[in-house]
Structure 1
Amino acid sequence: MKRKSFISAILVLLTIIMLLAGCNNAANTGKTTAATPTPSATGTGQTSEPSTPSTSGSDTTVKLPIVDKPFKVTIWAPNGEGIQKTMKTLSDSEYYKELERRTGVTVEFIHPPIGQQNDSFNLMVASGNYPDIIEIIHPYGYMFPGGYDKAIEEGIILRLNELVDQYAPNYKKLLYSNDQLRKESFTDSGNLPGFWSLSVNGAQPPWMGMVVRKDWLDDLGLKEPETYDDWYNMLKAFKDVKKAEAPMMLYFTGFNPMNIFEGGYGITETFFQVDGKVKYGPLEPGYKEYITMLSKWYEEGLIDKDFATKQDFIPSSDYTASNRTGAFYCQYIDFTGLKAKAADPNYNLVAVPTPAKNAGDSVHVRQLNTMSGSVNWVVTSACKDPVTVTKWLDYNYTEEGDILAAYGFEGKTFEYGPDGKPVFTPFIYNNPDGYSLQEMYLKYAKLGGACIYHWEREFAGLPQNSVDAVQIWQKNNDGAYILPPITMTADEGAEYSRIMSDIETYRKEMVLKFILGTEPLSNYDSFVNQIKSMNIDRAIELQQAALDRFNQR
């Protein structure tokens, strides 16, 4: 305990030194002079309910350019296959080039190696060497130890309430335009931790789920699988008849992202809730059943033998666009790009629902999105001019900034339809370079993070199997067991982090051992008892308290 306090003190001291020395943003010389934020704007540990500021009559105009002298913003954001194929970094995208031309702000992205975002994030936080902005993508699983409130209290990121109230009128107006948005965007302590990708037209339906090769099913005379037994029979046929090297791709943790495969057993990888009561997956009977099933499948060669070493969020197209695998997870916007890359002319994908234990069972675990989105841009304490950065981020929530972020360039990537609404041109869906829809978004528009997220834009021009996927992934599945975006107080977060750090390290290690067969499943009860001895009951209590508060917001 004393050692951790000492380390925290050292990290805070290092952060202060860097702020004074200006080493993190040395390129920001000659910046536009802006009003110095009040202590409350960059202070830590504030615990007040978010006020509801008046937006009537407020000036939401963003004067361009935002700066009249060179100004650079550094952003840490995970890399991806789509970025690598279209540009070196996101800084090279046509969107960010145009954004710089309009605002005068240069953007420098820092991308961790693909598949190493979690380790890179943890090292960055421990070092105290932060960029101006950090992109938090919740499905990737990385987060500040103790949550947002603790990160604010420790001086890692800024509380943005006052900055947004004074310098981001467009973002502020949207936050308070909908009770659900407000509820999801602030912490229980009343802190606004970042700039969210706001789904102002309602939460997005599932954008990720399981898919299988429809052409293979047809060849084999099989129907789309509905139960885990159906999956087993299908994967056996993929292996024995289609000679698939990896019949099914599996995420390196043993649990596919976004809760899209384990739900038939009534569990998630870690915490979930049933009728308002928080539960921890490994303690539930369904968890052992799921792990036992995967162990059997792995032993029989039905799962990618190297899955534990592949940490890509989305499986590589080297597998998914080839005949090396026949079942995997992806986004509905990936269908077109994968088909274009496939050498097999018969290549055809179909989305399938979360498997059930028994035919006709309802399932309550799936991807469940929020209106505040899954991507959040936080401003760190290393940011030398948070006022200018706040003004810059607010531009994305203006009408013209929103059009640029969502649709790109009029006449090239979009046109206005008869109803006056923007629609993508064929250039986006059938571009001469053969890029996927996601790759085109990355190159010419903005895909999440500090913007208004128009998820509905993606359906126009997509093939029918992509459009159908959204409904299929919700079939007989209400997602009722998924926890909402709860937050803990700084003290709760610190205690929770101390408990769960060791538990999660142990859980992840043992889950892989069980699946790979290096640990006999006869030791599963000992595994559960060990977790119980590590104070998991207290962690559940903390989650429960946070859920209860969220439900009362």
Structure 2
Amino acid sequence: MKAPTTTDELYEVLKAFKEKDPNGNGKNDEIPFTTRNKLRGLLAFIEPFGVSFEEDFYVENGQVKYTYTNPKLKEALAFAAKLYREGLIDKEYITNDQKVWESRFTNQLSGITFDSFPRIEYLEKLVAKADPKVNMIGITPLKGPSGNAYTKSQQTLIKNGFAISSKSKYKAELAKMHDWFYCEEGQLAMNFGKLGETYTMENNQPKYTDLIMKDQNKSPLIKMYELGHREFAYQWDIRYENAMVTPKIEKIRDSITPFIKDKFPAALSYKQAERDVLNSKFAEITTYKDEMVNKFIMGAEPLDKFDDYVKNIEKIGLDSVLKIQQASYERYMKR
């Protein structure tokens, strides 16, 4: 089958995985789509309807609104619920860990997932142990009923964060260490590892060594993770990805670029009084939202109760949360 470009085409591909016995064992045991990313792993089914799990808030005509009360979400959840009901989505998507996710592919039960680009090569190596002819591809964001295709899924510029305890005896030393991560030498170390061991410099550009590039069982990205790379606060350097991906993966990655839309700013700042409200009301809203969205998808709650769900979120205190987000967003835009 051709790679799907619309939600309708995706549905047909998922049905074929479910009904055509692609693993050839004569059993109806296929789980067409699986994920290790919990609810966010279903993003590809949601964004075609004009709403994204990548952001809690979005801006419409200058007004900050809450993603999970967006009327468009109801139609998106209806599509995801249909896929779940027909066994096209992994029934255990909210509990799958890394090992279960991998086993779905190595046991040839699943054929589709949502993940980062380097995982294509990683999964290919895993599946090749069962089927050397494996060929995994990437697809661009799907068109939904509105005919629009986009994604807000993207890597952030800054990875993680750090803090220094007020009780530390070494505040100055720790500050200097953290500051080093943002100088040229520190940036190279955090993005590429150890000079002469994990990378070399050729024509003033970093190039990974065979230790990274030629591991028989792991993709370069996973090998770097194994060595303790990229798990601290630093600025990502796109060259780390360019240096490790194959031409195939690079082509897939770059095909997504025209579809990427900016998401709601993650670096907003709040006054203490605003934080107090968010820590109480928004935390409660988030807990309730997570529970109900999964119930809608899994059929535990009918979607005709979506309006009641929205009203309950409003009762918890959505209006006060939105006022805080609006004020913080406006401060951010004036900076």
Do both share a fold (TM > 0.5)?
yes
Counterparts of 1:317-396 in structure 2, within 5 Å, are: 317-342=102-127, 343-358=130-145, 360-363=147-150, 365-371=151-157, 373-396=158-181
Contact in 1 for aligned 2:41/2:115 (Cα 8 Å)? no
Segment drifting more, 354-363 vs 385-394: 354-363
Deviation at 1:500, TM superposition (A): 1.2
Q: Does 1:488 align with 2:274?
A: no
Match of 1:291 among 77, 86, 94: 77
Contact in 1 for aligned 2:17/2:30 (Cα 8 Å)? no
Letter in 2 for 1:474: T
Distance of aligned partners of 1:321 and 1:548 in 2 relative to their CA distance in 1, 3 Å threshold: farther
Higher relative contact order (CA 8 A, sep 6+): 1
Q: Does 1:530 align with 2:324?
A: no
Letter in 2 for 1:486: L
Match of 1:401 in 2: 186
When the two chains are superposed, the root-mean-square deviation of aligned CA atoms in Å is 2.5
Match of 1:165 in 2: none
Q: Does 1:423 align with 2:207?
A: yes
Distance of aligned partners of 1:252 and 1:514 in 2 relative to their CA distance in 1, 3 Å threshold: farther
Match of 1:512 in 2: 294
Amino-acid identity (%): 25
Contact in 2 for aligned 1:405/1:445 (Cα 8 Å)? no
Match of 1:230 in 2: 9
Deviation at 1:548, TM superposition (A): 0.8
Deviation at 1:370, TM superposition (A): 4.4
Unaligned runs of 5+ in 1: 1-221
Distance of aligned partners of 1:397 and 1:502 in 2 relative to their CA distance in 1, 3 Å threshold: closer
Deviation at 1:359, TM superposition (A): 7.8
The count of residues paired between Structure 1 and Structure 2 equals 325
Match of 2:91 among 297, 305, 311: 305
Aligned residue for 2:137, secondary structure, equals strand
Distance across 2 between alignment mates of 1:435 and 1:478: 28
Counterparts of 1:33-72 in structure 2, within 5 Å, are: none
Aligned residue for 1:319, secondary structure, equals helix
Give 4+ residue runs of structure 1 displaced > 4 Å after superposition: 250-253
Contact in 2 for aligned 1:356/1:362 (Cα 8 Å)? yes
Aligned residue for 1:329, secondary structure, equals coil
Residue by residue over 1:158-215, the C-alpha shift from the partner in whole angstroms, topping out at 9 and shown as x without a partner, is: xxxxxxxxxxxxxxxxxxxxxxxxxxxxxxxxxxxxxxxxxxxxxxxxxxxxxxxxxx
Distance of aligned partners of 1:375 and 1:537 in 2 relative to their CA distance in 1, 3 Å threshold: same
Deviation at 1:303, TM superposition (A): 0.5
Letter in 1 for 2:287: T
Q: Does 1:465 align with 2:225?
A: no
Distance of aligned partners of 1:509 and 1:370 in 2 relative to their CA distance in 1, 3 Å threshold: closer
Q: Does 1:447 align with 2:230?
A: yes
Residue by residue over 1:70-103, the C-alpha shift from the partner in whole angstroms, topping out at 9 and shown as x without a partner, is: xxxxxxxxxxxxxxxxxxxxxxxxxxxxxxxxxx
Aligned residue for 1:330, secondary structure, equals coil
Aligned residue for 1:262, secondary structure, equals helix
Aligned residue for 2:3, secondary structure, equals coil
Aligned residue for 1:498, secondary structure, equals helix
Match of 1:435 in 2: 218
Distance of aligned partners of 1:459 and 1:305 in 2 relative to their CA distance in 1, 3 Å threshold: same
Distance across 2 between alignment mates of 1:323 and 1:381: 51
**Which structure would you say has the larger Rg?**
1
Aligned residue for 1:394, secondary structure, equals helix
TM-score (norm: length of structure 2):
0.87
Distance of aligned partners of 1:395 and 1:223 in 2 relative to their CA distance in 1, 3 Å threshold: same
Residue by residue over 1:323-367, the C-alpha shift from the partner in whole angstroms, topping out at 9 and shown as x without a partner, is: 22111122222222222221211212211122221485243x412
Distance across 2 between alignment mates of 1:359 and 1:532: 28
Residue by residue over 1:235-268, the C-alpha shift from the partner in whole angstroms, topping out at 9 and shown as x without a partner, is: 10111112563211246653338x5552221112
Distance across 1 between alignment mates of 2:264 and 2:100: 24
Deviation at 1:416, TM superposition (A): 2.2
Distance across 2 between alignment mates of 1:409 and 1:493: 40
Letter in 1 for 2:173: T
Match of 2:30 among 227, 234, 245: 245
TM-score (norm: length of structure 1):
0.54
- Which structure features the higher share of strand residues? 1
Contact in 2 for aligned 1:253/1:508 (Cα 8 Å)? no
- Which structure features the higher share of helix residues? 2
Letter in 2 for 1:248: F
Residue by residue over 1:292-341, the C-alpha shift from the partner in whole angstroms, topping out at 9 and shown as x without a partner, is: 111111110001011122255x9732224552211112222222222222
Letter in 1 for 2:64: V
Distance of aligned partners of 1:278 and 1:335 in 2 relative to their CA distance in 1, 3 Å threshold: same
